[in-house]
């Protein structure tokens, strides 16, 4: 027990984690925004069909889904 001290693995810094807020390439952001736009169109169509069919709750939920999907798609383009 008087020999050299072996390094404790808990003291080593370990692998460095990548930056979680690194920007995506523009082409990838554009593709994600297009996917969000397609899903928003589907949510909007479902909301319109539900409204015409008299299902108010489903229409409101579809409209909220449409708005939230458009919001996230816009943020994807702007913030990356």
Average pLDDT value for residue range 35-49: 97
User: Residue written as tokens 């404790």?
Assistant: 8
Report whether 46 contacts 60 (CB < 8 A).
no
Neighbour-count burial for 26-62, b at 16+ CB within 10 Å, e otherwise:
eeebeebbeebeebbeebbebbeebeeeeeeeebeeb
pLDDT digits (tens, 9 = 90+) for 51-78: 999 999 999 999 999 999 999 999 988 8
DSSP structure class, residue 3 = S
Token pair belonging to 77:
């383009």
Quote the pLDDT of residue 2.
72
pTM above 0.85, yes or no: no
Token pair belonging to 50:
């539900």
- In the chain, % of residues over pLDDT 90: 62
């Amino acid at each position: 027990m008087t020999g050299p001290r072996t390094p404790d693995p808990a003291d080593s810094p370990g692998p460095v984690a990548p930056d979680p807020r690194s920007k995506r390439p523009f082409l990838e952001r554009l593709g994600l925004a297009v996917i969000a736009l397609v899903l928003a169109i589907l949510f909007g169509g479902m909301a319109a069909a539900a409204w015409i069919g008299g299902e108010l709750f489903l229409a409101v939920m579809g409209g909220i889904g449409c708005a939230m999907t458009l919001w996230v798609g816009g943020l994807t383009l702007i913030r990356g």
